[in-house]
């Protein structure tokens, strides 16, 4: 799979931003190819420590991890730690998760860690890309109902610092 395999009317803008900044909050309509792009990036960086997650899976994964640790009594590196430390983090469909205080805490740690690593002079760029069907304002409104305005503003503000681009193009599922 190559960059040429994904379609968007603003494809060059997206490519340039990712290549220059290594971070992005990419939003767009359902079916415009955001997940396809993340899967390409995942395959491109397969030799690096890369994590791809759908946010809808995050709640279930965190609960399973806690239950496993309680049942075995073992300590292992959590998915949150792995997401904070990996070279390439690809989070798909943010805003479609089961946003609870529990998931908010996990996402806050990940977003804050990646934000601070990106904003310091880091010789090892930590690539971080989030996709969503919601623009930042819509995401803030959605999260405000679930976790409160202040917490939502903080998270969305940090996400926006990664750069915001709307992926434009046709709906491939229609």
For the chain, what are the domain ranges? 3-166
Return the CATH number of 3-166, one of 3.40.50.720, 3.40.50.300, 3.30.479.30, 3.40.640.10: 3.40.50.300
C-alpha radius of gyration, the chain, whole number: 16
**Best CA proximity match to 51, nearest among 80, 22, 25:** 80
Q: Could you report the per-residue pLDDT of 48-98, keeping only the tens digit for each?
A: 899 999 988 887 888 787 776 666 666 555 889 999 999 999 999 999 888
Strands 164-166 and 23-27: parallel
Cα 116 from Cα 152, distance rounded (Å):
18
Copy the structure tokens of residue 51.
């994590």
**The pLDDT of residue 125:** 76
Integer angstrom CA distances of residue 72 from 59, 82, 103, 124: 20, 20, 23, 35
**The pLDDT of residue 91:** 95
Q: Could you report the per-residue pLDDT of 113-129, keeping only the tens digit for each?
A: 998 887 666 667 789 99
Q: What is the rounded average pLDDT for all residues in the chain?
A: 86
């Amino acid at each position: 799979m190559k960059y040429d395999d994904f379609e968007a009317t603003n494809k060059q803008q997206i490519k340039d931003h990712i290549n220059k900044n290594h971070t992005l909050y990419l939003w767009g309509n359902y079916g415009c190819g955001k997940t396809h792009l993340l899967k390409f990036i995942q395959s491109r960086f397969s030799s690096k420590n890369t994590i791809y997650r759908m946010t809808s899976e995050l709640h279930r994964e965190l609960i399973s991890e806690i239950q496993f640790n309680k049942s075995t009594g073992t300590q292992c590196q959590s998915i949150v730690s792995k997401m904070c430390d990996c070279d390439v983090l690809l989070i798909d469909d943010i805003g479609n998760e089961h946003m609870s205080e529990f998931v908010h805490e996990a996402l806050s740690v990940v977003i804050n860690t990646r934000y601070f690593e990106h904003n310091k002079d880091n010789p090892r760029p930590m690539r971080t890309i989030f996709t969503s069907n919601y623009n930042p304002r819509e995401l803030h409104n959605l999260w405000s109902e679930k976790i409160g305005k202040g917490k939502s503003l903080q998270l969305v503000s940090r996400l926006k610092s990664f750069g915001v681009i709307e992926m434009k193009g046709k709906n491939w599922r229609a």
